[in-house]
Structure 1
Amino acid sequence: MRTSQHDLMWRQLLPTVRKHDEPLQVQLCTAFVTAMLEGRLPGGTRLPSSRDLAMLTGVSRNTAMLVYERLVAEGYVDARPRDGFFVCGAITPTQNAQPNADQHCQPPDWASRMLACDPQIVWAERPPSWRDVRYPFIYGQFDPKQFPLTQWRQCSRQALEVKAVDRWWQEGESVGTSQLIDQLIRRVLPRRGIAATHDQVLLTLGRQQSFYLLARLFARSGTVVGVEEPGFRDPRNAFTHEGAQVLSLPVDEQGMQVSPALARCDYLYCTPAYQCPTGVTMSQGRRQALLEHVQLHDQVIFEDDDDPETEYDGRALPALKAIDSAQRVIYLSSLSKLLSPGLGIGYIVAPAPVIEQLRKLQRLMIRQIPGNNQITAALFIQQGHYDRLLQQARENLQQRAATLANALRDALPDAEFAMPSGGATLWLKLAGQHDLLSLYYAGAAKGVLFDPGNAFCHEPDTLVQSSLRLGFGSIAHALIAPGIVELGRVVNAKRPGTVRG
């Protein structure tokens, strides 16, 4: 017999079903299973009838029946004919084990046992709540409204077919069996001018793992690695963690400068396509001079092609790797910027002996890259979806860049910037001197998020000239202009000497 207390108990246990979240069946099944495993629904508990469940949660009677059918099929619920549904008695709640209260038992001294990260390592992080910010001018994320979900879902379904699932497990197989590596070699790398064989490509979990593997293989005490300044912090951190000395190298309007300081380095890390964070594309002359320098001084270049192929006119300069006849360039990139960072698919292109050692190091960390994502991405490229998405991305980014530039000319006419020719960032130099940290927090308070220029600087005397980076790949096109108007108000209010009432 139902009572108001009975209804109240079930309303507390079951969620408020949200129509726009995951499927209703999934929401209810998850709620039931969670309550059972946490011990809030003991074995033998009678569950509401399907009619009562529908009324309590606001779903249809058919949905309620499907929920129970699924729970019965998965062994969480017993269906007793003419009696109803009951929690299966064989379910064991997963309760946290209580620590031993014996006063003589002491925990280990973890601090003395662990090799902690260098406390001087700084990560350029953004607030976890960046998605809730109205004007997120940040880089590294994608616009979900531009993602070809229908095509990706189609490829994902194909990757779940029996024959495809059988290829998920690739451990111990020849590297030549990787469907994704095959597509990278055939369809992606040639557009960067790179020719490679299967034994010259390693799949990684993204550029971050690529940094770590390269640092682990090449960096050691006494090694000197030159990195761009201003530049990306993560590779600097990876090399420093392995004991290398990191030397900051200046950047100008042509990219990394070929200066006398380069001769001190064993390795050089650079971003020639769109320098991080300035967006500068390394000139053809500078590329040739850099390759001649590393050949003369027996050095190796780590080329980070962070945002490949997004030159708006489709005529990007070839990668450094493409014009490296001496095999002194190790190339790394990913599918994250065009697809999604959450996929975690990166790759390294290097001579076969290097790839062999990197593969052994990777095996110490993971047994293999997730096969389902590999096959889905391979099918996505193979069936032409990647090419269409790339063309759409170029057009969308070009339109957004134009809107951003026009808005900046109106809102901050005395600021300086170079019009982007590709990629999804703009490097803005504000007039006068600004406290970038204060400006950052003032902008965040007004719903405007950007990357302050000093977040990319390691040397305290680096001249970033009150610069900041604006990303426009994830913010909605319609929000760019009003976001820049708000940014202009923040900057003008923070100008030195401004009187605020």
Structure 2
Amino acid sequence: MAIKSEQFHLDPKFEGTLQQQIQHLVSQGVLSGRFLPGERMPSSRKLAEWLGVSRITVTLAYAELVANDYLTSRGRSGYFVSESAPPPPMLNQSEGDRQDAVAWDEMVSSRYSYRSSLVRPSDWRDYPYPFIYGQPDARLFDHDNWRRCALEALGRKNFESMTADPYEQDDPKLIEYIVRNILPRRGISAQQDEILVTMGAQNALWLCAQVLLNKDRVAAIENPCYPGLRDILDQTGCQIAEVRVDDDGLPPDELPGNCQVVFTTASHQCPTNTTMPIERRRALLNRSVEEGFVIVEDDYEFEMAFQKAPTPALKSLDRAGSVIYVGSFSKSLFPGLRLGYIVAAKPLIQEARSLRALVLRHPPGHIQRTTAYFLSLGYHDAMVNRMGQAYRRRRSVMDKAIRDHGLQIASGGSHGGSSFWMRAPEGVNTSELALKLRKSGVVIDQGRAFFGREDDNHQFYRLAYSSIPSARIPEGIQRIADVIR
């Protein structure tokens, strides 16, 4: 990396010559760690012009720095920070050199660091057998067309949508596509003012929880469920009722009679992947109407229903307006995009829009417009089709490998998805199993994080196939079976 002239500023109060001050600026940059070995210095001409001094002054300063091994000269290539320059001093501030005057344990009024997130190695891509969920596979992504859409979104024609602050509004092209193309595939009909774009599904769930819940209200959730949802609800102070799911998902008959909000992943229950049957969906909706609670449907993975036609969304069966639908582009595009949306009655959308404006105003305009182009030009549908074919092959290979090695799938009834919910044999702690498997190059999602904090369940684990090619699946499953044995 090249060091810019703009990083240097003369101090009129410096006691010494200009040459000495330039030497001081460079040496302190090296000793502070701002200038790293091998980085190229600005040319003597450019630095002299920037500082308003003669070129010979800079040249002499550089020569002195070379003599002291701060810089090295490479002929016509210029001056570079020396690979053997004096290293930055190792300052030990733990011995009392620095003391915080703030009692942070007392100052912090709310705690968020206890979250029950999944524990994964940050370098999971370096493992040969990554069975982890929700991460993209570069081999399946349409890089070229995404780049074209991004360039189009950054062009002059879209300057206003990219740079202007629309305050609380969303990109009209993206909203239009969601209304006319995305939602009809789920059997949902909605107006544009009944949709809000969010920073992913998790942000959508947070907005819903903040608008709907308080310490006097009860929220019912599935158990096991998405760990982030439980953490979100904790922050509202509401009472949480956990309802154990069965082979058909959330059982409506088990819901408490005093809840105001029910959260469900009806199409692909997280993490078991079970699909709630139509009869049960109708029963849930009927009870919602009778008892006056609302339902938040997290349809996070509906594009991955590749085994057969997806079941209509719970929202599509809603005639009373009691279902709040949450969608996401994280699985069909990539999680780093951070784009999702809420479909709900206008009063809910109005409040969620105002709350969103307080926190993040709106999702970035150029991201919304790039996504709108990628969707409207047909690239998204083509890519989802390719992903579905790849996932179908991977699922078939994994299903066979699991059965060949005698591993147990914990649930069925799924129309697709990108993972298997697994049950370990009696006596096997899957949290310990996950750590042992890393020594064999295998990464899995241990199941403990999906259960309530009082439910110390270490019997389950999740195997996803979104990030691992078919050819590596059999060997990875064999290694899991070997470690379990």
Q: Which amino acid aligns with 1:483?
A: G
- Could you say which residue in structure 2 is the equivalent of 1:294? 288
CA shift, 1:295, in A, is 0.6
Could you tell me which of 206, 211, 214 is aligned with 2:205?
A: 211
Q: Which of 243, 258, 267 is the matching residue for 2:237?
A: 243
Unaligned 5+ segments in structure 2 are 11-20, 27-36, 60-75, 81-92
Task: Report the Cα offset of residue 360 of structure 1.
Answer: 0.7
CA contact (8 A) 2:171 2:369 kept: no
Aligned to 2:341: 347
In structure 2, the CA distance between the partners of 1:400 and 1:41, relative to structure 1 (3 Å rule), is farther
Output one character per residue of 1:106-125: Cα deviation in whole Å (capped at 9) or x when no partner. 73333323222267642223
1:312 matches 2:306? yes
| Structure 1 residue matching 2:215: 3-state secondary structure | coil
Aligned-pair CA distance for 1:202 = 0.7
- Structure 2 CA distance for aligned equivalents of residues 305 and 177 of structure 1: 22
1:297 and 1:231 map into 2 onto residues whose CA distance is 23
TM-score (norm 2): 0.80
1:129-278 to 2 correspondence within 5 Å?
A: 129-172=123-166, 175=169, 178-278=172-272
State the secondary structure of the residue aligned to 1:252.
coil
1:107 match: secondary structure? coil
Residue pair 1:213, 1:361 contacting (<8 A) in 2 also: yes
Change (3 A) 1:285 1:221: same
Alpha-carbon distance in structure 2 between the residues aligned to 1:224 and 1:448 = 40
Q: Secondary structure at the match of 2:255?
A: helix
TM-aligned CA deviation for residue 43 of structure 1: 9.9
Q: Is the 1:439–1:491 contact (alpha carbons within 8 Å) kept by the matching residues of 2?
A: yes
| Aligned counterpart, 1:487 | 480
Aligned letter for 1:167? S
* Corresponding position of 1:333: 327
Alignment correspondent of 1:411: 405
Normalized against structure 1, the TM-score is what? 0.77
Task: Kindly indicate whether the alpha-carbon contact (under 8 Å) linking 1:232 and 1:276 is maintained by their aligned counterparts in 2.
Answer: yes
- Report 1:28-107 matches (<5 A): 28-29=1-2, 32-33=3-4, 36=7, 107=101
Q: Given that residues 8 and 25 in structure 2 are in contact (C-alpha distance below 8 angstroms), is that contact kept between their aligned partners in structure 1? A: no
- SS in structure 2 of the partner of residue 253 of structure 1: coil
Answer yes or no: is the 8 Å Cα contact 1:401–1:420 preserved in 2. Answer: no
Residue 187 of structure 1 contacts residue 381 of structure 1 at CA under 8 Å; is this kept in 2? no
Q: 1:145 to 1:111 in 2, by over 3 A?
A: same
Contact 2:168 2:361 in 1 (8 A): no
**1:299-333 Cα distance to aligned partner (Å, 9 max, x none):** 00010011112111451011111110101011112
- Shift in Å at residue 265 of structure 1? 1.2
Q: Which amino acid aligns with 1:115?
A: S
The unaligned stretches of length 5 or more in structure 1 are 1-27, 46-55, 58-63, 88-98, 493-501
Structure 2 counterpart of 1:321, one-letter code: K
Aligned partners of 2:325, 2:340: CA distance in 1, in Å? 11
Structure 1 residues 437 and 86: alpha-carbon distance in aligned structure 2, compared to 1, 3 A threshold: closer
Residues 5-46 of structure 1 deviation map (CA, whole Å, 9 limit, x = unaligned): xxxxxxxxxxxxxxxxxxxxxxx44xx24994799987998x
Give the residue type in structure 1 aligned to 2:452: H
Alpha-carbon contact 1:216-1:242 (below 8 Å) kept: yes
- 8 Å contact kept, 1:165–1:372: no
CA shift, 1:217, in A, is 1.0
Check if 1:434 corresponds to 2:441. Answer: no
Deviations 1:412-462 (A, max 9, x none): 256655375311011122343322222121112222111222221116457
- The answer on 1:458 being equivalent to 2:452 is yes
Task: State yes or no: 1:478 paired with 2:471.
Answer: yes
Q: State the AA in 1 paired with 2:424.
A: L
Using a 3 Å threshold, how does the CA distance of structure 1 residues 260 and 408 change in structure 2: closer, same or farther?
Answer: closer
Q: Distance in 2 between matches of 1:251 and 1:324?
A: 22
- Verify the 8 A CA contact 2:247 2:412 in the aligned structure 1: no
Q: 1:146 to 1:482 in 2, by over 3 A?
A: same
The aligned residue for residue 446 of structure 1 is 440
The whole-number CA distance in structure 2 between the counterparts of 1:124 and 1:397 is 23
Identify the residue that residue 499 of structure 1 maps to in structure 2: none
AA at the equivalent of 1:491 = I
- Please report the RMSD computed on the Cα atoms of aligned residues, expressed in angstroms: 3.7
Q: Map Cα deviations across residues 255-309 of structure 1 (whole Å, 9 max, x no partner).
A: 1011243322111001011100100011111100000011110000010011112
Residue 257 of structure 2 aligns to a residue whose secondary structure is: helix
SS in 2 for 1:426: strand
Identity across matched positions, percent: 30
State whether structure 2 residue 104 is matched by structure 1 residue 110.
yes
Question: What does residue 469 of structure 1 align with?
Answer: 462
